[in-house]
Amino acid sequence: MKFKILYKILIITMIFGVFLIYLSSYIGWYGYEKWKYRRSTRGDIEQSKMRKVFVKQVPFIVVPDTIKTEGMFYIEKGYTYGKHSMEDTRVLTMEDTKYPFQLMYKGFSIIYLKKDNPNMKDSIHRDEIWLKSPIIRDTIYYRLLKSKGTNVVDPQFTDTIGMIKVFDK
């Protein structure tokens, strides 16, 4: 008798658990509407190629040239997730946005400042530069940072140790 009651409680608990997992997933995905927002690969060039949004790698120069780095810059097409999956990629076009491309980087601790780029006509969103075309018309300047602590964003905890010039051929 006790076994049947425990068995029923276990079955009800498992069904309720599966329901909660489904509900959490549903609220997390559909509640945040993740498919509506622009995405980037955040420096993961392999993911960019896998999603078929990679356009080209972009040359750059580090000043002073005594600073050695393994970093890279590349241009990719802007995209959003599909409505039902993060694996689905919806590439942005000029009909979706004025800036369908984005400049990405990997391997640097850098900051983009508008005062270093007064002629920049494209759009800046956090650490990404959104471009109207896959061509960089003017040189883009980034400040190369060295952290003095754990907070890389706060200027009192970082030093500018050089500049990076990103350009197109």
Predicted confidence (pLDDT) per residue in 77-95, tens digit? 999 999 888 899 999 999 9
pTM over 0.85: no
Question: Over the stretch 11-63, which tens digit does the pLDDT of each residue have?
Answer: 999 999 898 888 777 777 777 888 889 999 988 999 999 999 999 999 999 98
42 neighbors 104 (Cβ within 8 angstroms):
yes
**pLDDT value at residue 58:** 95
**pLDDT value at residue 47:** 95
167 neighbors 140 (Cβ within 8 angstroms):
yes
117 neighbors 140 (Cβ within 8 angstroms):
yes
78 neighbors 51 (Cβ within 8 angstroms):
no
Alpha-helix residue ranges (DSSP H) falling in the chain: 2-26, 32, 45-50
**pLDDT value at residue 98:** 92
**pLDDT value at residue 150:** 60
**Can you tell me whether residue 19 is helix, strand or coil?**
helix
Question: Over the stretch 137-160, which tens digit does the pLDDT of each residue have?
Answer: 888 888 888 766 665 556 566 678
